[in-house]
Amino acid sequence: MDKGNTKEFIKKVELFRGIGEAGLSSIANHIYKKSYSLGDYLFTQGTPRMHIFIVCTGAVELFTTNTYGDEKRLTLFSSGDFFGEGSLMDDAPHSTNARITEDAEMLILDNSYFYENGSIAVKVLSNVARIISRRMQHANNMSNQSASQYVSGKTRTEHDLLGYREVPYESYYGIQTLRAMENFNISGVTLNFYPVLIEALAMVKMAAAKANNELGLIDETLTQAIVQACREVMSNRYHYHFVVDMIQGGAGTSTNMNANEVIANRALEILGYEKGEYKHCHPNNHVNLSQSTNDAYPTAIKIALINNNKKLIEVLKNLIKVTEDKGREFAHILKMGRTQLQDAVPMSLGQSFDAYAVTLTEEINNLTYNASYFLEVNMGGTAIGTGINAEVGYSEKVIRHLRDITGMDIKLALNLIEATQDTGSFVAYSGAVKRLAIKLSKMSNDLRLMSSGPRAGFNEINLPPMQPGSTIMPGKVNPVIPEVVNQIAFKVIGNDLTVGLAAEHGQLELNVFEPVIVQSLFESVEMLKNGMDALNHSCIRGITANEEHCRSMIKNSIGIVTALNPYIGYDNANELAKDALASGRGVYELVLEKNLLSKEKLDEILAPENMINPHKRV
């Protein structure tokens, strides 16, 4: 790209709006081009910010890495997008990573240029301030998307059943989404909190467009524009424009229209038109063709929940692995088992963690089984399941395309009227999620008890100290990670109740309360993923055992008398336990004093391998 072409290219970049011909020529003379290959990094978290990057060709993903090493993609940049402009505002290092996802040609401008060209710097900084202002207006979003960098005072006029409204010019959503934003300022949790849901909506719209094209309902050019727009949304682009609250009236219509409008407006741009020129690509007539909210919305929800369940199981497997590791690490350490919070019989500390690993492993199959109900969808049922406004053969075609796009074994429901009104799959899956939460909470209860003390409690294990525990009691450290997992379980149990109530309150041919079902399920899964990550990395990995204390508690416990039953009889054992409780002396000591067994025999009976596993009588 020569300097002339570079100038023409950057003229279209929002960052350089209003610079003027001379300024653009100056920038073009100082900017340089560099090629990158798939997997190359432009920068990483914590490194100095020294450049502004502009994508000529290819694609770049922006992502963060959390303390556990997990990656979270924030957005995907393609031709004409820019990033790194924040470096002009302060000296803070990069808070994200930028990695090439498709061989790319980049234009790079060093920050030092602006130190030497003050008048241009002022104009660029004005643009940067406007960009940041827009981001701050939407600070409740979980992450900044690339769409948030464009801002102006322009609007476009759109109309619907209720009249005309001015929509922000840069917004890919339209008038119906605008009304939903005004009507449903409910939870503050918008669709873009859950990228997997937005991706699933795009998958459904892509499959519908392909099916409609095969039926001759939309031409190839329009189909390809819609498909490309859907692909971009599936690549984390334009998620910033999915702004409707998760909890909404209308049975999900606002969510469906948010998707229809974003995809339609992006398709219009691909076709060379302005956003809002709906005669060329209409949210309802083209993107929503052959669909209703009542089949497209639940289908997208089900696809999203299947994908979210995979991520939940991945986090669960990691937790199981570290729990199994602790089981092996603590296999040799004896402790008292307890029933009803009373001393029972000895066991190994490793057996406690082995039991946790096994009970959590059971949940993998349970979650997978219940998520499989989501593979049955009602696409083509449209409004109530009768298939009104869907062409003959549409259902079969759209299901085939959905299978190809998602890689899932999606099936068309046998009875679309039943499938349109039924929410049983959500109820079943919510129950499975609740079961996992309950098991995690019980495990957290145990960890809090076993670590209680340290002087006046069980004090069998030590949890990693995460933060000071009191504003008044010096030296106190609380089991904050198990406590937060308990609280997550309380929320999940409450969400399951919400799902049940909402499912039961459906009437006739549609359940209008699916939005709160959806919000409850996504919230539960998100909290469980985060909670299990915290339990894994900030608790279980760092647990240590107080081995000598555990052994001394066994020696002084009344509970070991159970192991003597076969040798001295139940009645003698009862008397022995009674004497030990009354005198405060140990069972071991009293057995020898009463000459009930020899020391050698007693030691053999109380050997660890004979107390924690079935064995032949010695």
Cβ contact 267:281 at 8 Å: yes
CATH number of 159-289: 1.10.275.10
Return the closest-CA partner of residue 211 out of 378, 374, 375, 379. Answer: 379
Task: Assign 170 a pLDDT band (cuts: 50, 70, 90).
Answer: confident
* Residue-wise pLDDT tens digits, 187-202: 999 999 999 999 999 9
Query: Which secondary-structure segment (H or E) carries 447?
Result: helix 424-450
Cβ contact 379:295 at 8 Å: yes
Tokens of 26: 């100056």
* Residue-wise pLDDT tens digits, 155-167: 889 999 999 998 9
Q: Is it the case that residue 3 has pLDDT exceeding 80?
A: no
Q: How far apart are CA 476 and CA 470, in angstroms?
A: 6
Cβ contact 274:398 at 8 Å: no
Domain 556-611 has CATH 1.10.40.30: yes
Average confidence (pLDDT) over 2-16: 83
Q: What is the pLDDT of residue 130?
A: 67
* Residue-wise pLDDT tens digits, 564-585: 888 999 988 898 889 988 898 8
Q: What is the pLDDT of residue 608?
A: 67
* Residue-wise pLDDT tens digits, 461-491: 999 999 898 888 988 999 999 999 999 999 9
Active-site annotation, residues? 470
Number of H helices, E strands in the chain: 21, 14
**β-pair type (342-348, 461-462):** unpaired
Instruction: State the CB neighbour count (10 A cutoff) for residue 366.
Output: 15
Q: Which segment of 130-134, 263-267, 389-393, 449-453 scores lowest on mean pLDDT?
A: 130-134
Using only C-alpha atoms, what is the Rg of the chain?
31
Give the whole-number percent of the chain exceeding pLDDT 70.
94
Q: Is it the case that residue 216 has pLDDT exceeding 50?
A: yes
Paired strand residues for 82: 54
* Residue-wise pLDDT tens digits, 417-435: 999 999 999 999 999 999 9
Task: Assign 142 a pLDDT band (cuts: 50, 70, 90).
Answer: very low
DSSP E strands in 111-184: the ranges are 155-160, 163-168
Q: What is the pLDDT of residue 352?
A: 97
Cβ contact 555:586 at 8 Å: yes
DSSP E strands in 357-502: the ranges are 376-377, 411-412, 461-462
Task: Assign 7 a pLDDT band (cuts: 50, 70, 90).
Answer: confident
Query: What are the two backbone dihedrals, phi and then psi, of residue 453, each rounded to the nearest 5 degrees?
Result: 130, -125
Tokens of 368: 């997978």
Higher pLDDT, 25 or 130: 25
Cβ contact 112:38 at 8 Å: no
Task: Assign 139 a pLDDT band (cuts: 50, 70, 90).
Answer: very low
Q: What is the pLDDT of residue 337?
A: 92
CATH number of 297-547: 1.20.200.10
Cβ contact 243:177 at 8 Å: yes
- Three-class secondary structure of residue 320 per DSSP: helix
* Residue-wise pLDDT tens digits, 46-61: 899 889 899 999 999 8
Q: Is it the case that residue 494 has pLDDT exceeding 90?
A: yes
The label of the residue with tokens 């209409």 reads 282
For 46-107, the three-class secondary structure string (H helix, E strand, C coil) is CCCCCEEEEEEEEEEEEEEECCCCCEEEEEEECCCCEECHHHHCCCCCCCCEEEEEEEEEEE
Task: Assign 234 a pLDDT band (cuts: 50, 70, 90).
Answer: very high
Q: What is the pLDDT of residue 132?
A: 63
Q: What is the pLDDT of residue 588?
A: 84
Q: What CATH class has 3-149? A: mainly beta
* Residue-wise pLDDT tens digits, 515-541: 999 999 999 999 999 999 999 999 999
Average confidence (pLDDT) over 322-338: 95
* Residue-wise pLDDT tens digits, 61-108: 888 888 777 888 888 888 888 888 777 766 788 889 999 999 999 999
Q: What is the pLDDT of residue 147?
A: 42
Q: How far apart are CA 341 and CA 363, in angstroms?
A: 26
Task: Assign 134 a pLDDT band (cuts: 50, 70, 90).
Answer: low
Q: Residue 48, preceding bond cis, omega within 30 degrees? A: no
479: exposed, middle or buried (C-beta count within 10 Å: 0-12, 13-18, 19+)? buried
Q: What is the pLDDT of residue 288?
A: 97
Higher pLDDT, 300 or 96: 300
Mean pLDDT rounded to a whole number for the chain: 90
In the chain, where the domains are located: 3-149, 159-289, 297-547, 556-611
The label of the residue with tokens 């019980």 reads 442
Average confidence (pLDDT) over 424-449: 98
Q: How far apart are CA 592 and CA 493, in angstroms?
A: 52
DSSP 463: P
Residue 11 sits at the vertex; the CA angle it makes with 43 and 240, to the nearest 5 degrees, is 55
Q: What is the pLDDT of residue 152?
A: 47
Identify the sign of the CA torsion 85, 87, 89, 94. Answer: positive
**β-pair type (82-83, 334-339):** unpaired
The label of the residue with tokens 């470096």 reads 87
Q: Is it the case that residue 145 has pLDDT exceeding 60?
A: no
Instruction: State the CB neighbour count (10 A cutoff) for residue 441.
Output: 20
Q: How far apart are CA 276 and CA 160, in angstroms?
A: 12
Return the closest-CA partner of residue 217 out of 291, 297, 271. Answer: 291
Tokens of 450: 């076993």
Q: What is the pLDDT of residue 297?
A: 97
DSSP 559: G
